[in-house]
Amino acid sequence: MKDNRVFYLTKSEDQVMNILWNAKEPMTQLQILQQAGSPDTRCFKDRSIFAILNGLLSKELVQEVGFVHSGKTFSRTFAPTKSRAEWYANELFHENGSIDNTKKMVLEGLS
């Protein structure tokens, strides 16, 4: 069953976003693949990175921030548009339906 939440992330998207959130600078597709580890340990295949990044671009969670020279071509670099905290806050807000419910949930969790 597909989740229709605006900020829903698949396992692959979540793995890519965590790599980008932990990065100190924008990353190319190849750098993301290298950071994700071997094909046996990550939850997506090499060729899927294009579709994953396009999905994150369409959700406006990542943006292209430039190009770097890579061999004979240029590679796009990507960076998150929201911090991890902003993404989780949006997720909480959309799950609870209102800011009041979100505040209540957060306050209950703190006590």
Phi, psi at residue 2, to the nearest 5°?
A: -80, 140
Averaged confidence pLDDT in the chain: 82
Q: In this structure, what token pair is assigned to residue 78?
A: 């990507």
The Cα–Cα gap between 105 and 36 comes to 33
Q: Rounded to 5 degrees, what angle do the CA atoms 19, 78, 30 make?
A: 65
Strand partners, 67: 76
pLDDT for res 2: 46
Q: Whole-model pTM above 0.95?
A: no
Residues with Cβ within 8 Å of residue 20, at least 6 apart in sequence:
27, 32, 62, 78, 79, 80
pLDDT band at residue 44 using 50, 70 and 90 as cut-offs: confident
Residue type, 64: E
Residue whose tokens read 């609870």: 96
pLDDT at residue 109 is higher than 60: no
- Between 16 and 5, name the one with better pLDDT: 16
Strand partners, 80: 62
